[in-house]
A and B are shown apart, each in its own frame.
Chain A
Amino acid sequence: KQEVTQIPAALSVPEGENLVLNCSFTDSAIYNLQWFRQDPGKGLTSLLLIQSSQREQTSGRLNASLDKSSGRSTLYIAASQPGDSATYLCASYTGGFKTIFGAGTRLFVKA
C-alpha cells in the first residue's frame, strides 16, 4: 500500500530564502505526483503536476522534481515571500486511480 510522507511537518524561514519541501513515497510505481497549496480554512490549489515520464516541472518561482527510483519528490521555492505561507501537500496517483496524500508541510515565511 502506498504511503506518502512529508518532512518537515512545519518550517519557518525568513523572507527571501530559497527552500525545499520533501515528499517521500513507498511505491515507486506511481503514475503522477501533484503538489498543492492550502491556505488556512480554504480548499486546495494545484501548483504543479509531474507525470511519471518527467523529472521536473517549473512554474514561476516553483520547481518540482520527481525521482521514482528513490521514491522522492521535492518542491523548490525560490526567493520565498510572506505570501507563500501556507500548507503544502503532495499527492501520488497510483494504479487503480487512488490518490494518496501526504500530511503536508506547514510553511511560515517571516517578513
Chain B
Amino acid sequence: EAQVTQNPRYLITVTGKKLTVTCSQNMNHEYMSWYRQDPGLGLRQIYYSMNVEVTDKGDVPEGYKVSRKEKRNFPLILESPSPNQTSLYFCASSYGGRETQYFGPGTRLLVL
C-alpha cells in the first residue's frame, strides 16, 4: 500500500530535550516536505526537499532541522524544543514539488 508514515504519532517532551520525528514514504517520490498545523493558522511549511541531499526552507524553519540522506526518509529534528513548537506536524511527499502531495497521519507534539 502506497503510504507516508510518521513516528511517533504522539509525543510529550520537555523544553530543550532533542527529538526526532521520522517520516518515510514508499512511493519513490522525489519531493518531501514538513508542515506544522496550528489552530487558526492552517498548515505552514517548515522545510522541503527536492531530492537526496537537497533541502530548502519553507515559511517557518526556525528551530527545526532536516536531512535527506535517503530518498524514502525525511526526518524532522528539533534540537532544543520550546513550548511554541507544540503543534501538529505533517509530513508529505509527491513526485515533483508541484504534483499531488500525499500526507502522513500526523504527529502531535507537546513541549512542556
Contacts and interface: CB of A to CB of B under 8 A. Distances in A.
Interface stretch (B21-29, B79-87, B100-108): B100-108
Interface string B41-71: 1111100101000001011000000000000
Interface string B71-99: 00000000000000000001010000111
Nearest to A44: B103
A34 interface: yes
A43 B23 CA distance: 14
A36 B58 CA distance: 20
A27 to B, nearest CB: 14
Contacts of A21: none
Interface stretch (A12-20, A70-78, A94-102): A94-102
Contacts of A34: 100-101
Contacts of A97: 31, 48, 50, 56, 97-98
